[in-house]
Structure 1
């Protein structure tokens, strides 16, 4: 019985190790970048995302700066 238990565990382990997916990342620089421009209602000015203090039902306009780092014009 112990032999069967170890055989089953070893088989599952071997199948799990054998079927692991490989992941790779592209080392090239991104072609576009986006930066949030600071808003006067920004709570934490050190973060790069919008963390605004607004009243309920209040609205405001936000600005983003887009940069094209490619050599070609984007359409």
Structure 2
């Protein structure tokens, strides 16, 4: 799990530096996972969120449209 957590954290940092935010879709693309596996990607994002490494851009957004940035962003 630590490798995936670190990979997600680095992905969100790179996207943030590029002026973007992490989304379920961007992470699926990064890991080469089909859209049908969006639930497993959501669980990974939730784990990293609970680790306090990332935060939502707007916590009031519907889950489908949620975007994340590094905790320091």
Do they superpose with TM above 0.5? no
Higher relative contact order (CA 8 A, sep 6+): 2
Tell me the TM-score range normalised by the shorter chain: under 0.3
Rg larger for: 1
Normalising by structure 1, report the TM-score: 0.25
